[in-house]
Amino acid sequence: MSRDRARRTLPGMFTVHTATSAPAGSRDALAALERNVGFIPNLAGVIAGSPVALNGFVGMQSALRGSRLTALEREVVGLTVSRVNDCAYSLAAHSRFAAAAGASEGLLAAVRDGASLEDERLERLRAFTEDVLAERGHVAAAFDAEETLEVLTQIAYTTLANFAADVSGAPVDDAFRALV
């Protein structure tokens, strides 16, 4: 199905929560996100409607920061997933985070276009991520066991963000809008 399909979500079904409107079980996770990102992204505000979902989301994000993958490598995976899943919100967000991690405009454009990357390791990450998604995980590992599992965790984390953004219709934050 294409992105122009009729949205099945009821208008007003999802709320973009703030630190004060979120359920009590989501408030600590929102505060942690605000400390790490500098603001509460609209997508996190939406996910905050379920403390279970938000705590899982933030927990994965926190765990991934301790991965052997660099911030830029994680963002290349995130951008690739978001491009394959056609998620405008996450493409914008991961573009901002990738730029903050040192990505050049050329690298951002190449990943968003699905083009090969000059950096050999980043290209391996991009290609492996595409293969995992296209083959639904039925691929050979492209890295050692630990890094392969970390790439898969980044794919899962970003896929959750993509699907939550698209199902909820989370509005792209002003901080990300220029990168859409």
Q: Residue 77 is part of a domain; what is its CATH number? A: 1.20.1290.10
d(Cα 58, Cα 30) in Å, to the nearest integer?
A: 8
Q: Which domain holds residue 60?
A: 24-65
Question: Do 80 and 151 belong to one domain?
Answer: yes
Block residue for tokens 């609209």? 42
Question: Do 113 and 152 belong to one domain?
Answer: yes
Look at the pTM and tell me if it is higher than 0.85: yes
Question: Do 61 and 75 belong to one domain?
Answer: no
d(Cα 75, Cα 107) in Å, to the nearest integer?
A: 11
Q: What is the pLDDT along the chain (180 residues), one digit of tens a residue?
A: 344 444 455 557 899 999 999 999 999 999 988 988 899 999 999 999 999 999 999 999 999 999 999 999 999 999 999 999 999 999 999 999 999 999 999 999 999 999 999 999 999 999 999 999 999 999 999 999 999 999 999 999 999 999 999 999 999 999 898 765
Question: Do 57 and 119 belong to one domain?
Answer: no
Question: Do 79 and 103 belong to one domain?
Answer: yes
For the chain, helix, strand, coil in percent to 5 are 65, 0, 35
**2 falls within a domain:** no
Joined together, the tokens standing for residue 74 give 């994680």
DSSP-derived letter for residue 159 is H
d(Cα 37, Cα 106) in Å, to the nearest integer?
A: 24
Sign for the CA dihedral angle at 86, 88, 92, 94 comes to negative
d(Cα 129, Cα 148) in Å, to the nearest integer?
A: 10
- Residues 33-37: contacts with CB within 8 Å, 24+ apart? 33/58, 33/61, 36/61
